[in-house]
Amino acid sequence: MPTSPIRTGIDFSQPGRQLGSLSVPYSYNLSGWSQLQIPMATIGHGEGPTVLVMAGNHGDEYPGQIAIMRLLRELHDEDISGRVILIPALNMPAAKASTRLSPVDGANLNRSFPGDPEGTVTQIIADYLTKVLFPMSDVVIDLHTGGRGVYFFPCAHMHLVDDPAQRQRMAQATLAYNTDLAFLYSDIAGNGLLPVEAENQGKTVVTTEMGGGEVTPRAVHKLSQQGLRNVLIHVGVLVGKEETRASLGLSPTRWVQALDKEDYLFAPESGLFESLVDVGGDVTAGQPIGAIHFLERPDRAPTIIEAPSSGIVIAHRGPTVTQQGDIAFCLAHDVPDKIIDTFTSVKVET
């Protein structure tokens, strides 16, 4: 089996604080022997779980990158019980370029798992996570937004994994983000997701969609940063008192899901997209929720996008300029109680 060409000066067997990087060999026209640097820090102290915390899987998703850089500077070694591995900008070339896809090889890191040690830069990064970082971790946290393409209601989200104990661990960690909505999603856009590889390895996987676009409201930064700290306390790697929605004086988190392909609505035509409902808004079946306007035919009535079912708008398109087939809306629905029950009680087969 070929080994990863990635090198790091960080010694994972050592306690204490280490700041270094993952070095990925690559070539470009002005350098045949370059080393792409992905900054990484580890803090190991005492006994406890290993928690891998990442953002910048997509380069144009910022609140998580900032939250991890803050954490890296603010954490004291004695705050840690176990080990945290912090990678603020996992897809460093994309983060530097503020793009979703890597400018080095055009790949989407979140469609590149399990990866290939002999593949492109993005495939090499994915392979290193799959074979080195995931196996040493108990908890894998991957922070996203909708990027420049989509605006999400700021939420934590997860897959409905089959293993009852893993599902319960993931649901409780997802709730520890203390978001108004927690979102069960499906993979409509293909395979090779980072969270799926980590889930397949049995990890407790925590992911977020903290808004999107170039503007991040203060409240979203705050939620991203406080939620992340609270999840670290919840999983036992950070000392401190865990906050709950109740202790914060908030109503319980509402679980919503978009698990059917009909929940994902695409622009029927190219034009200027106007959302008629804000994210987080409840809608009824048949309600007009979006309009596509036509610059070259200002006299033409806009094409209306209707909600195919009742639900809540969890996300809508970010940029106004829209091409036919771009994702326009994601419509979510309340999660049935019988599923929510599986988040708190592990059923033992008899």
Residues that bind Zn ion (CB under 5 A): 58, 61, 144
Smaller CB distance to Zn ion: residue 58 or 234? 58
In whole angstroms, how close is the CB of 258 to Zn ion at the nearest point?
16
In whole angstroms, how close is the CB of 100 to Zn ion at the nearest point?
7
Smaller CB distance to Zn ion: residue 144 or 159? 144
Smaller CB distance to Zn ion: residue 50 or 57? 57
| Beta-strand relationship, 150-152 and 181-185 | unpaired
Smaller CB distance to Zn ion: residue 189 or 219? 189
In whole angstroms, how close is the CB of 67 to Zn ion at the nearest point?
14
In whole angstroms, how close is the CB of 278 to Zn ion at the nearest point?
21
Smaller CB distance to Zn ion: residue 59 or 311? 59
Q: Report the C-alpha dihedral over residues 136, 77, 86, 231, rounded to 10 degrees.
A: 80
Kindly state the helix (H) or strand (E) to which residue 220 belongs, with its residue range.
helix 218-234
In whole angstroms, how close is the CB of 24 to Zn ion at the nearest point?
20
Residue with tokens 């997701």: 193
In whole angstroms, how close is the CB of 151 to Zn ion at the nearest point?
13
In whole angstroms, how close is the CB of 143 to Zn ion at the nearest point?
9
Smaller CB distance to Zn ion: residue 58 or 159? 58
In whole angstroms, how close is the CB of 323 to Zn ion at the nearest point?
19
Smaller CB distance to Zn ion: residue 144 or 234? 144
Smaller CB distance to Zn ion: residue 223 or 307? 223
What tokens does 50 get? 């290993």
Determine contact, residues 144/60, Cβ cutoff 8 Å.
no
Smaller CB distance to Zn ion: residue 64 or 271? 64
Q: Report the C-alpha dihedral over residues 226, 232, 233, 238, rounded to 10 degrees.
A: -110
**What is d(CA 263, CA 313) in angstroms, rounded to the nearest whole number?**
10
| Beta-strand relationship, 82-87 and 31-45 | antiparallel
Strand locations in the chain (E): 7-8, 16-28, 31-45, 50-55, 82-87, 139-144, 150-152, 155-158, 181-185, 204-209, 254-258, 264-266, 271-275, 282-283, 288-293, 303-306, 311-317, 321-322, 327-334
The string of DSSP codes covering 17-86 is EEEEEEEEEEEETTEEEEEEEEEEEEEEESSS-EEEEEE-SSTT--HHHHHHHHHHHH--GGGBSEEEEE
In whole angstroms, how close is the CB of 250 to Zn ion at the nearest point?
26
**What is d(CA 111, CA 101) in angstroms, rounded to the nearest whole number?**
10
Smaller CB distance to Zn ion: residue 144 or 316? 144
CB neighbour class for 202 (10 Å; exposed up to 12, middle 13-18, buried from 19): middle
What tokens does 217 get? 């409201």
In whole angstroms, how close is the CB of 112 to Zn ion at the nearest point?
13
Longest dimension (CA), the chain: 69
Interhelix angle 164-175/218-234, rounded to 10 degrees, is 140
